[in-house]
Amino acid sequence: MPVSDYQLIEAWKQVLTLSNLERGQSVTILTSSATHPQTLAAATIATQAMGAVVNRLDLPPVNAEKALSRDPLAYLGTTPLTGNRPAIAALKESDLVLDLMTLLFSPEQHEILASGTKILLAVEPPEILVRTVPTEGDRARVKAASARIAKAKEMTVVSAAGTDLRCPLGQFPVISEYGFVDQPGRWDHWPSGFALTFPDEGGANGRIVIDVGDILLPQKSYTTSRIELTVENGYATKIEGGIDAELLRDYMASFNDPEGYAISHIGWGLQPRCHWSTLSLYDKEQTIGMDARAFEGNFLFSLGPNNEAGGSRTTACHIDIPLRHCTVRLDGEDMVRDGKVLDGGVK
């Protein structure tokens, strides 16, 4: 359902307030050809209304000759900032960057964050943004889950479908995504709501079963047949099953990069205002699938890079796969049981 300009401006004001935007600070709105015009207009008005100095940096798209999909997460690494020192300098001089373009998994983003600049990504349609405005309660819940992960030595995941995965932890930091940027040098994504980390390099072993009705991203499709991944020493060494497995194998093979098969981030969804079913209501051109990534109780794992957490793997292939009905344990204690989060929810 369409969103009024007033609603979207008010949503931006709430997020910017949570992000501690102050009068006189500089905000750069990063855009490209796919930026939603209503989102851009509302972000511009909201930042100006709060007294910020607002700039817009519009950059041309890249990777069209390499990517098999129009989804901005279908090919990572090279961005419109690659080799673009004037643009990088402008963003580093900003207190806050509103990324309406999708700048992810790149050394340029890490360089900008290291300067103290905050980056908030927001590229979902306006009605999704309004429905998923983050709260302080979201932050508290995600931070609590992250603190629990930080203490753990092992994450295990099992399901009735046959998943049985073991991941040693401790080598990489824990990442909290709750939808706003309240500290210098912080990156986040509106909408979001999950806690994640990465298994120790080469440590993940077991089997992952992607059951009927689970979701593949960036394919933005519900699986219609089971896919079984054999995980050995941190990599998916076999992808077995029917047509969905065949499609996944073919897509991943197009990158010609063995690092694309590595187990990347692991964690679970904590956002009750996101829903498993929402992806079925949208055309694939309209969304990047954040409902699927963040819905409460999923086990979200990915294949591909780990440089987001300080690792050295920078493959362009990145697959996010949220699974339903899993039990996620930390050092033997259930955090999620059969797809239900056991923390009591947002108060």
Mean of the per-residue pLDDT values of the chain: 95
Do 148 and 70 lie in one domain? The reply is: no
Do 192 and 121 lie in one domain? The reply is: no
Do 74 and 58 lie in one domain? The reply is: yes
For residues 121 and 101, what is the distance between their CA atoms, to the nearest angstrom?
8
pLDDT at 134 over 80: yes
User: How much of the chain is helix, strand and coil, in % rounded to 5?
Assistant: 25, 30, 45
Tell the burial category of 89 from Cβ atoms under 10 Å away from its Cβ (0-12, 13-18, 19+). exposed
Under a CB-based contact definition with an 8 Å cutoff, are residues 167 and 156 in contact? Answer: yes
**Any domain includes 22:** yes
**Any domain includes 261:** yes
Q: List pLDDT tens digits, range 158-217.
A: 999 999 999 999 999 999 999 999 999 999 999 999 999 999 999 999 999 999 999 999
The model's confidence at residue 65, banded by pLDDT at 50, 70 and 90, is confident
The model's confidence at residue 346, banded by pLDDT at 50, 70 and 90, is low
Q: Where are the beta strands (DSSP E) in the chain?
A: 26-31, 53-58, 96-99, 118-121, 154-159, 164-168, 175-177, 187-189, 194-197, 205-210, 215-216, 221-222, 227-232, 235-241, 263-269, 299-303, 319-323, 326-330, 333-337, 340-341
**Any domain includes 204:** yes
Under a CB-based contact definition with an 8 Å cutoff, are residues 269 and 300 in contact? Answer: yes
Under a CB-based contact definition with an 8 Å cutoff, are residues 39 and 120 in contact? Answer: no
Do 150 and 83 lie in one domain? The reply is: no
Tell the burial category of 72 from Cβ atoms under 10 Å away from its Cβ (0-12, 13-18, 19+). buried
State the angle between helix axes of 107-114 and 85-92 in degrees (0 to 180), rounded to the nearest 10: 30
Do 194 and 84 lie in one domain? The reply is: no
The model's confidence at residue 310, banded by pLDDT at 50, 70 and 90, is confident
For the chain, give the longest Cα–Cα distance.
57
Read off the CATH number of the domain in which 60 is found. 3.40.50.2300
**Any domain includes 277:** yes
Residue 4's contacts (CB-CB under 8 Å, 6 or more residues apart) are: none
Q: Give the model's pLDDT for residue 52.
A: 98
**What is the distance in angstroms between the CA of the first residue and the CA of the last residue of the chain?**
28
The model's confidence at residue 238, banded by pLDDT at 50, 70 and 90, is very high
pLDDT at 26 over 60: yes
More confident residue, 105 or 201: 201
pLDDT at 74 over 80: no
Do 298 and 316 lie in one domain? The reply is: yes
Structural domains of the chain, count? 2
Query: Which residue segment(s) compose the domain that 210 sits in?
Result: 136-341
24 HSE (CA, 13 A, CB side): 0
**Any domain includes 238:** yes
Q: Among 131, 153, 175, which residue terminates a domain?
A: 131
Q: Among 89, 104, 131, which residue terminates a domain?
A: 131
**Any domain includes 347:** no
Q: What percent of the chain has pLDDT over 70?
A: 99
The model's confidence at residue 13, banded by pLDDT at 50, 70 and 90, is very high
Residue 83's contacts (CB-CB under 8 Å, 6 or more residues apart) are: none
More confident residue, 33 or 74: 33
Do 122 and 196 lie in one domain? The reply is: no
Do 232 and 279 lie in one domain? The reply is: yes
Q: Give the model's pLDDT for residue 156.
A: 98
Do 125 and 263 lie in one domain? The reply is: no
Do 286 and 172 lie in one domain? The reply is: yes
User: What single letter denotes the amino acid at residue 292?
Assistant: A
183 bridge partner residues: none
**Any domain includes 346:** no
Torsion sign (Cα): 147, 342, 320, 242:
positive
Q: What is the mean pLDDT of residues 209-237?
A: 98
CA-nearest of 140, 137, 141, 145 to 335 is 145
Do 116 and 169 lie in one domain? The reply is: no
For residues 295 and 299, what is the distance between their CA atoms, to the nearest angstrom?
9
For residues 342 and 333, what is the distance between their CA atoms, to the nearest angstrom?
10
Q: Among 101, 131, 161, which residue terminates a domain?
A: 131
More confident residue, 130 or 1: 130
Q: List pLDDT tens digits, range 154-164.
A: 999 999 999 99
Residue 333 — φ and ψ, nearest 5°? -100, 130
Do 305 and 211 lie in one domain? The reply is: yes
Tokens representing 328 are: 């996620």
Under a CB-based contact definition with an 8 Å cutoff, are residues 66 and 35 in contact? Answer: no
